[in-house]
Amino acid sequence: MADNTGPKARLYKRKAGGTPKSVWEKRTASVSRWLHIYLSMISFVIVLFFAITGFTLNHAEWFDGKQSIQKYTGKVKLKWVKVKDTAAIAKLEIVELLKHNHHIKGDVSDFIIDDNQCTISFKGPGYSADAFIDRDNGDYKVTETSLGLIALINDLHKGRDTGKKWSYLIDIAAIFMILLSLTGIIMICFMKKKRLNGFILLAIGTLVCYLVYYFMVP
């Protein structure tokens, strides 16, 4: 009976099947594949969102929506604004009142106090509101402007007036996209039949981007 476990048999198998992968190579390929698949699923919505908004930002004139403007009036407590010391003006109470009465969104970007007037600006993605309060009688006027859905998602893409929490999400999305790219590169390194063509396409894509930048960007 032939010995299928001897040195000659092992050498034959190695030649027939190619050089076997080391434990490190197997683990690296397996981890890269696992990361690539599950990061793709976790970050699918994020990547899709930034892809769509990249297109809408690049063609903003195609999606120029109509502005929606609302105006409100009202009155704050006179003791909140008619004070000698401007530091005693009830800023927090005024802001909370305006948000409660008129469902104003966004964060306060400016709170300017003049001799006769207070001006408060609220900013959010695709949104702004400005309030003007008469310090002599407490009357106020508010102008609220909404720029539409496309302006909203474009500002979310840019992180404009979105606050720190959304900026953290942008950072996380960037990390996910970096990991997706790197795990894709690592995976193709272990695909002998596709490795050469993959790196050729990578080089072509890099070269095309550079040539477009060099010859077409002013």
Question: Which residue ranges make up each domain of the chain?
Answer: 12-42+162-216, 67-147
Confidence class for position 108, pLDDT limits 50, 70, 90: very high
H or E stretch at 143: strand 139-146
Q: Is pLDDT at 2 greater than 90 in this prediction?
A: no
Cα 105 from Cα 9, distance rounded (Å): 75
User: With 60 as the cut, is the pLDDT of residue 132 above it?
Assistant: yes
Mean pLDDT of the chain: 85
10 Å Cβ neighbour count for 53?
A: 18
Burial class (CB in 10 A: 0-12, 13-18, 19+), 180: middle
CA distance 61 to 19: 57
Q: Full-prediction pTM beyond 0.75? A: no
Q: Which of 22-31, 102-111, 176-185 has the lowest mean pLDDT?
A: 22-31
Query: What pLDDT was estimated at residue 123?
Result: 95
